[in-house]
Amino acid sequence: MGTADRRYSPGGTCRGGFTNPPLQAVPAVVGSRARRRCYLTDPPEHVTGEPPVLLACGMMQRPLDSQTLETGSMTEHFWLGMAVALAGGTLNGSFAVPMKYCRKWRWENIWLVFTFTSLLALPVLMAAGFVPHLREVYAAVSNRTLLLPLAFGFLWGIAQTTFGLGIQAVGMALAFAVVSGLACLSGSLVPLLVLSPDDLLRPRGVLLLISIPILLLGLALYGRAGRRREREQSAPAASGAAARSFVSGLAICIFTGVFGSNFNLGFAFSGNIPQKALAHGAGPLTATYAVWAVVLGAAFVPNLLYCLYLLVRNRTWPQFVAEGSARDALLSVAMGVLWLSGILVYGMGATLVGRYGTSVGYTLFVAASILSANLMGILTGEWRATSHATRKLLALGLAVILVSVVVLNLGGMF
C-alpha cells in the first residue's frame, strides 16, 4: 500500500484498496466464526495496478471495477460465488452436529481431537504443502511480526475453548446465533476503534453503530426464548437449576463472541508474512496459509491445556482406547474438517463474488452459518417439547440477529 492511508474500514476495504476478509465463528468459530481482517502490509512488488485482496482463508484476488461487474461472465461468477459462500456457511454452521452422535467420549475427548485436527494438523499440513520453504519464510520476518499473530491467536484459542463449552451448555442453535452476531460486531468494532476511530462518523461506522442496538434486541429475544425452553423442557423441581445453567451458558457465549475478535486481530497484524511466502514461491491463492499455521497453531495451546486439565480431573484418558472409541474419533475429526472447510469454501466464494465478496458474500456466509446451526439444532431435538410461543420468540430473535448482520456488513458497499 506504500504511502496510502492504512486506516481500517469495517465490513469493506482498508484505505488503499485492501479488503478486510472474514473469519469463524466461528466460530469460529470461533468456530469457526469468519471475521474481517485488514492486512497492514504492502503488496508484492510484481503486482501492478490496484492492490490485490488477501483473504485469510488463503485466497488472493484483484478488486474488480464496475465495468467488469457488468459483464455477463462476471454475473455468472458473482452468483456462483454466492452459491459457494452459501455452501461454506452451511458447512461452518453444521460442524458441531457430529458431536451429538459421539457415544463413548466426554466433551474433553471430543474437543481435543477436534481442535488438534482443525487448529494444528490441517493448517500446518496446508502451510507445509503449499508454501515452499516455510521455515525460511518465518525466518525472514522479525520476531515482533511473529509474536503478534501468535499472541492474538492464543487469546482467540481461549474463545474457541469457551465456544465449545457454550455449545455444550445451551446447544448449537443458540450458541451460534449469539457468538456469530457478537463476533461480527466485535470483529469490526475493535479494529475500527484501534486503527481508525475517525471512521465511526463515516457511512461504514454509522452502519456499524446502527447494527449494535438491533443485535442487542435480537440477543435479548433469543435469550428469552432460551430461558423459556429451559423451563419448558425441565421438570418443575429442576427448573431453577436449569435456569442457572442456561444463564451461565449464555454468559460463556457472550464472552466468546466479544473475545473472538482476537482472531481478526491475529490476521490484521500478521505483517509481511504473506508477502514473504510469495517471495519464497508460494502461489497467490496459498500465501496466507503461512499465517493460518501461526494463528491457529497458537490457538490450539489453550484448547490443549484445558482439555488436558479435564482429562486428568475427570479421569477420562481411558476413553481414547475404550471399545467404540474409533467411531467417536472419526466423528471428532469430521468436526474439524467441516469447520475448516467451511471457511476455506467461503474464501473461494468471496473470490468469485469479487468486490462485494467480503460484504454481500460475507453476509450470506454468516447468515447461512446461523440458519444451518439453528436448523440442525431443531432437527436434533434442541427445541423439542417447547411451546408454540417459545418457537415464535426463537424465530423473531433469529430474524432480528440476521438483520443486524446485514446492516453491519452493508458497510462493505461503501
List pLDDT tens digits, range 223-243: 888 888 888 887 654 455 555
Determine the Cα–Cα distance for residues 163 and 145; give it in Å rounded to an integer: 28
Q: In this structure, which long-range contacts are made by residues 60-67, counting pairs with CB atoms below 8 Å and at least 24 apart in sequence?
A: 60/284, 60/285, 60/287, 60/288, 60/351, 61/350, 61/351, 61/354, 61/357, 63/13, 63/17, 63/19, 63/354, 63/355, 64/354, 64/355
Question: What pLDDT is recorded for position 413?
Answer: 63
Q: Is the pLDDT of residue 43 over 70?
A: no
Between residues 355 and 348, the one the model is more confident about = 348
Output b/e per residue, 315-354; b: 16+ Cβ within 10 A. ebeebeeeeebeebbebbbbbbbbbbbbbbbbbbbbbbbb
Would you place residue 414 in the very low, low, confident or very high pLDDT band (cuts 50, 70, 90)?
low
Determine the Cα–Cα distance for residues 173 and 80; give it in Å rounded to an integer: 27
Question: What pLDDT is recorded for position 135?
Answer: 94
Rounded to the nearest integer, the mean pLDDT of the chain is 77
pLDDT, average across residues 285-304: 92
Between residues 370 and 74, the one the model is more confident about = 370
3-state secondary structure of 234: coil
3-state secondary structure of 359: coil
Nearest by Cα to 57 from 77, 84, 95: 84
Among 13-22, 36-45, 147-156, 265-274, the least confident range: 13-22
Would you place residue 40 in the very low, low, confident or very high pLDDT band (cuts 50, 70, 90)?
very low
- 16: its cell numbers: 488503499
Summarised one tens digit per residue, pLDDT across range 98-157 is: 999 999 999 999 999 999 999 999 999 999 999 999 999 999 999 989 999 999 999 999
Question: What pLDDT is recorded for position 205?
Answer: 83
The answer to whether residues 89 and 342 touch, using CB atoms and an 8 Å cutoff, is: yes
Burial class for 49, CB neighbours closer than 10 Å (0-12, 13-18, 19+): exposed
0.85 cut: is pTM over it?
no
Q: Is the pLDDT of residue 178 over 90?
A: no
